[in-house]
Amino acid sequence: MKLAIFSATAFLLLSVTACGPGGKPPAGGPGAGMPQVSVVTVQPQKITLTTQLPGRTSAFRMAEIRPQVNGLIQKRLFTEGTEIKVGQVLYQIDPAPFQAALDNARAAMGRAEANLPSVKARAERFKELLADKAVSQQDVDDAAGALKQVEADIASWKAQVEAARINLAYTKVTAPISGRIGKSNVTDGAIVTAYQPVPLATIQQFDPIYVDVPQSTSDLLRLRRRLEGGHLNREGRDQNQVRLVLDDDSPYPQEGTLQFRDVSVDRSTGSVILRMVFPNPKGVLLPEMFVRALVKEGVNEQAILIPQQGVLRNPKGEPYAMVVDGAGKVGMKMLTLEREIGDQWLVTAGLATGDRVIVEGLQVLQMLRPGTPVTVKAEPFKAGGMPPAGAQQPTATAK
């Protein structure tokens, strides 16, 4: 195998050195002794550019269950780790003292209401007797004040009855949202206090589920400049559609929607948060799971893509490509590369439509020099396969 490679290399070297002065081939027929190369012809194409950003999932809704009254837990009424419906009773707090408080408030309100008719009648009689000078103005004022006092007592006791009724209802601790409930932090017989710092349990809704990913401000500014410069456009309904790659590199089957970009920058990371919403009917995504989001940047209508093996670098690390001109001679063009897309480079400057880029292979490209005459193979160049979805960062999808 090594001998075959050496023979092929020697043959190419002899072919290049066999050219006469000025790069002309020796006599014996056109193209005799000239190296053969494979080329790809540059043709702009429409692609949708995407960026792969790491992030984590978070619950769409989360409710920490806390008691609203003090008391003794009589019974836990749910199974840990199950789906809970809104309004479902989770804990029963001993209702006896709250029932007694409600009964006491109702009795006091009834006592006040019982005094109302007589006090009201007395105030009306005193008002009539005042015209005949049978009672003094002071007596009338005292009767009117007593009536107002009774009415105020009734209103006060009504409020206390309502408060007692609310507290009694709070002895049934219910679910404020639907979702999956976690472990219980208390057992039957535990004493709890109203609005205690430790929740009794936590309910999380993760269908749908949020995905929060950071995007650096430098990438955000670069994208904005490309949009303003007309290199990208964001037209189309599907520009807010987002795809996910799971931690095991498998694609998530459901597409999500980009909700918004945060309006403030995290000073510690220099990034903004992008929030997305994904359907999660089978519960594959769990809160705090690591994922990678494929976010669409926009559509490049005139993208130039060339195979990676057609790009070389000089001693300074600057990329360039060898091309074949109309006369069949080798030329060199310096390139500006933006990103890898599968097994190709996205070129933003250096190449034009119709340029023939040599992609024979690294050894052949390194031996060629500008001005060298070459023969272009008739067979079209066959590029290698694309990597698995999500393997490159960032990626793009051709349309």
Contact 12, 35 (CB under 8 A): yes
Three-state SS at 65:
strand
Three-state SS at 23:
helix
Contact 266, 216 (CB under 8 A): no
Alpha carbons within 13 A on the beta-carbon side of 219:
18
Task: State how far the Cα of 8 lies from the Cα of 11, in Å rounded to an integer.
Answer: 5
* Tokens coding 6: 């050496």
Three-state SS at 68:
coil
Task: State how far the Cα of 323 lies from the Cα of 228, in Å rounded to an integer.
Answer: 32
Task: State how far the Cα of 281 lies from the Cα of 205, in Å rounded to an integer.
Answer: 11
List, in order, residues 6 or more apart from 395 with CB less than 8 Å away: 50, 51, 52, 294, 341, 342, 389
Task: State how far the Cα of 73 lies from the Cα of 172, in Å rounded to an integer.
Answer: 10
Whether the bond between 394 and the residue before it is cis, its omega within 30 degrees of 0, is: yes
State residue 218's pLDDT score: 79
Which is more confidently placed, 297 or 104? 104
* Tokens coding 204: 């999380």
pTM here is: 0.64
Residue 183 in this model has a pLDDT that exceeds 70: yes
DSSP 191-231: EE-TT-SS-SEEEEEEEEEEEEEEEEHHHHHHHHHHHHTTS
State residue 137's pLDDT score: 87
Burial class (CB in 10 A: 0-12, 13-18, 19+), 254: middle
State residue 266's pLDDT score: 81
Instruction: Note the pLDDT tens digit of each residue in 6-50.
Output: 333 434 443 444 444 444 444 434 445 678 888 888 989 888 778
Instruction: Note the pLDDT tens digit of each residue in 187-228.
Output: 999 999 999 999 999 999 999 999 998 888 877 777 677 666
Domains assigned to the chain: 34-49+301-398 (2.40.420.20), 50-60+207-298 (2.40.30.170), 67-94+171-198 (2.40.50.100), 96-169 (1.10.287.470)
Q: What is the DSSP letter of 130?
A: G
State residue 386's pLDDT score: 40
Comparing 60-69, 348-357, 358-367, the range with the smallest average pLDDT is: 358-367
Closest CA to 387 of 346, 338, 340, 343: 343
- Ranked by mean pLDDT, which of 96-100, 307-311, 321-325 comes out on top? 96-100
- Run of H or E residues at 244: strand 241-245
Strands 36-37 and 375-376: parallel
State residue 271's pLDDT score: 87
Polymer length in residues for the chain:
399
Contact 15, 34 (CB under 8 A): yes
Q: What is the DSSP letter of 378?
A: S
Instruction: Note the pLDDT tens digit of each residue in 131-140.
Output: 777 888 888 8
Task: State how far the Cα of 168 lies from the Cα of 100, in Å rounded to an integer.
Answer: 9
State residue 165's pLDDT score: 96
Instruction: State the average pLDDT for the chain.
Output: 82
